[in-house]
């Protein structure tokens, strides 16, 4: 008797950029998964031969949703190359910019892109459906509308500091381009309080203080019982009804390059850099990052550090299926994003959730739902501190070296982001970007280990291969950003098995 086998290639939207997921389904379960970015923009080559400062204009254009994250990584890479440390007041302005970008991204991703699936007719017989329709339906859901307004306010903060969002270049090696005045900081403070009100009234339906006290799954359940109309409660209810507590597990470790730099010592960050296997956290060393090309269309046999990285194309390579290189830490795949940040902080709630459910879809997405409640606190702190240092310098002129190399590490909304730059004769000769999606969307490596979201799909049950909704939830819980995977491309001519 032959097994029922379906091969699907599903173009997945509501992610940033183009993503195709190729899966093989046997008896309604995914047995093989390949993730393929379908757009190649060659950013690393676009930067070659350009003036080093041009990276501040070009790398934000890698990604319209995390342009400030790329800007900051580019500026840090040049600071590392030139040996300059930005003054504390500049770090506060940078922190406000990056936290604003990440917070609006989390909110738009969850309330405009993730939850809208549950308003799809596919779920018409579920009890949550009418409510999901009302709140999240595309272009008209009431919470989608409110979130659009709230995120516009948050983005005004970046515009006040840097002129516009997306695509500004106010962060430069040595600091930022402008002093910020009291009236601007006070306006930013007003916007933050407005945002806090939206979070407390519309999203969490409770004070942030009470929310921050949740330190276990039991406490979370009590909180849900007390605030049944909170978005946490609704997401949890929907997650239970759609099996998200059990899908999407990778079992892989977590990586973060750190987030929210300490103004007085920007080599440290309030959310620490590190690698965690889910139980134990170790210090992070960027020298342990390697890229492996076993299943990518490049020649090479040993995994290499980004500085040693070669891009020697071999399109005829047997077994290769992508232009994404498999990135690893100390030889293992790792996942990055808000959940990784909570793990770096040994957050009691998430340590408990991982213990009970593993890195399931629900746990990964809940980290994104809760992160704004943490970030607003850092932002208010940065504004208060900046107000105390109004006349401090915001820029130290670096000595631009003719020959240098540097690493810029930081956090985008989707997780760990790194830029590696080499300069010769005052021009960029090599530029490597490893984005969070390169970590999460890696192909298999030499040890046959799948990348995190490929791994997360294995074993997943698909009810309707015409609309593999379950797959979308798992993948979107990683918040993929395909425009960021700068050398992602599928050049295979494939069969598309559905919809023809």
Partner 1 sequence: MNLYWLQSGGCSGDTMSILNYEGNLFEFFSNIEIEVLWHPSLSTISAKEHDVLIDKILRDEETLDVLCIEGNVVCGPDGTGMFDTFRGRPKKELIAALAKKARYIVAVGTCAAYGGVGSYDEMEGVGLQFHHDKEGGFLGKEFRTKEKKPVINLPGCPIHPKALENILNKLKHNLEIPLTHNYTDADYYNFTVHQGCTRNEYHEYKIEEKDFAERGCMFFHMGCKGPTTLSPCNKYLWNEVNSKTRAGVPCFGCTRPDFPQPYPFFETQNIIGTPLELPRGVDRAHYLAYKDMAWAAAPKRLRKRAQRV
Closest CA to 135 of 234, 244, 207: 234
Distance, CA of 42 to chain centre? 21
C-beta closer to partner 1: residue 387 or 393: 393
Which tokens in the block code for residue 178? 């402008």
Closest CA to 213 of 373, 341, 82, 367: 373
Q: Exposed, middle or buried, 332 (CB in 10 Å: 0-12/13-18/19+)?
A: middle
C-beta closer to partner 1: residue 38 or 345: 38
C-beta closer to partner 1: residue 64 or 377: 64
Q: How far is the CB of 496 from partner 1 (least distance, A)?
A: 5
CB 65 within 8 A of CB 72: no
> How many residues in total does the chain contain?
500
Task: Report CA torsion sign: 8, 13, 14, 19.
Answer: positive
DSSP string covering 419-455, please? EEEEEETTEEEEEEEE-HHHHHT----TT-PPPHHHH
Q: How far is the CB of 91 from partner 1 (least distance, A)?
A: 14
Q: Interior CA angle at 31 toward 28 and 33, to 5°?
A: 115
Q: How far is the CB of 333 from partner 1 (least distance, A)?
A: 26
> Which H helix or E strand runs over 134?
helix 129-136
Q: How far is the CB of 475 from partner 1 (least distance, A)?
A: 13
C-beta closer to partner 1: residue 32 or 54: 54
Distance separating alpha carbons of residues 35 and 440, to the nearest angstrom: 10
Q: How far is the CB of 330 from partner 1 (least distance, A)?
A: 32
Beta bridge partners of 320: none
CB 481 within 8 A of CB 17: yes
C-beta closer to partner 1: residue 84 or 224: 84
C-beta closer to partner 1: residue 145 or 304: 145
Listed in sequence order, the residues at least 6 apart from 156 whose beta carbon sits closer than 8 Å to its beta carbon are 191
Q: How far is the CB of 10 from partner 1 (least distance, A)?
A: 5
Q: How far is the CB of 243 from partner 1 (least distance, A)?
A: 19
Distance separating alpha carbons of residues 160 and 172, to the nearest angstrom: 16
C-beta closer to partner 1: residue 272 or 443: 443
Q: How far is the CB of 458 from partner 1 (least distance, A)?
A: 21
C-beta closer to partner 1: residue 31 or 159: 159
């Amino acid at each position: 008797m032959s097994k029922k086998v379906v091969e699907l290639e599903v173009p997945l939207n509501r992610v940033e950029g183009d993503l195709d997921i190729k899966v093989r389904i046997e008896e309604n379960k995914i047995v093989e998964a390949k993730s393929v970015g379908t757009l190649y923009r060659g950013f690393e080559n676009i930067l070659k031969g350009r003036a080093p400062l041009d990276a501040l204009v070009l790398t934000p254009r890698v990604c319209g949703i995390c342009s400030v994250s790329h800007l900051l990584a580019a500026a840090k890479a040049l600071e590392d190359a030139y040996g300059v440390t930005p003054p504390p007041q500049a770090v506060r302005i940078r922190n406000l910019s990056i936290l604003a970008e990440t917070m609006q991204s989390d909110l738009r991703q969850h309330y405009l892109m993730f939850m809208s699936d549950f308003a799809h007719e596919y779920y018409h017989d579920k009890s949550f459906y009418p409510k999901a329709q009302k709140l999240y339906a595309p272009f008209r859901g009431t919470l989608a509308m409110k979130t659009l307004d709230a995120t516009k306010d948050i983005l005004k903060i970046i515009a006040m500091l840097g002129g516009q969002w997306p695509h500004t270049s106010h962060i430069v090696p040595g600091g930022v381009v402008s002093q910020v005045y009291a009236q601007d900081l006070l306006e930013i403070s007003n916007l933050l309080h407005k945002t806090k009100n939206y979070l407390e009234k519309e999203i969490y339906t409770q004070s942030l203080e009470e929310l921050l006290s949740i330190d276990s799954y039991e406490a979370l359940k009590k909180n849900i019982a007390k605030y049944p109309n909170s978005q946490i409660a609704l997401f949890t209810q929907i997650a239970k009804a759609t099996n998200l507590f059990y899908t999407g597990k990778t079992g892989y470790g977590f990586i973060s390059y750190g987030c929210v730099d300490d103004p007085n010592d920007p080599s440290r960050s309030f959310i620490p850099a590190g690698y965690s296997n889910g139980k134990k956290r170790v210090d992070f060393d960027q020298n342990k990052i390697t890229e492996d090309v076993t299943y990518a269309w490049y020649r090479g046999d040993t995994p290499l550090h980004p500085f040693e990285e070669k891009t020697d194309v071999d399109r005829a390579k047997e077994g290769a299926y992508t232009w994404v290189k498999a990135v690893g830490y100390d030889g293992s795949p790792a996942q990055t994003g808000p959940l990784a940040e909570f793990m770096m902080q040994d957050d009691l709630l998430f340590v408990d959730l991982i213990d009970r459910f593993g890195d399931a879809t629900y746990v990964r997405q809940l980290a994104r739902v809760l992160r704004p409640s943490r970030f607003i606190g850092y932002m208010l702190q940065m504004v208060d501190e900046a107000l105390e240092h109004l006349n401090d310098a915001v820029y130290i002129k670096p000595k631009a070296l003719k020959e240098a190399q540097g690493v810029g590490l930081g956090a985008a909304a989707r997780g760990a982001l790194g830029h590696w730059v080499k300069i010769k004769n005052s021009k960029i000769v090599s530029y490597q970007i490893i984005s969070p999606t390169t970590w999460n969307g890696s192909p298999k490596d030499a040890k046959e280990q799948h990348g995190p979201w490929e791994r997360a799909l294995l074993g997943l049950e698909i009810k309707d291969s015409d609309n593999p909704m379950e797959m979308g939830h798992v993948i979107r819980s990683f918040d993929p950003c395909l425009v960021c995977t700068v050398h992602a491309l599928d050049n295979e001519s494939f069969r598309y098995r559905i919809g023809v």
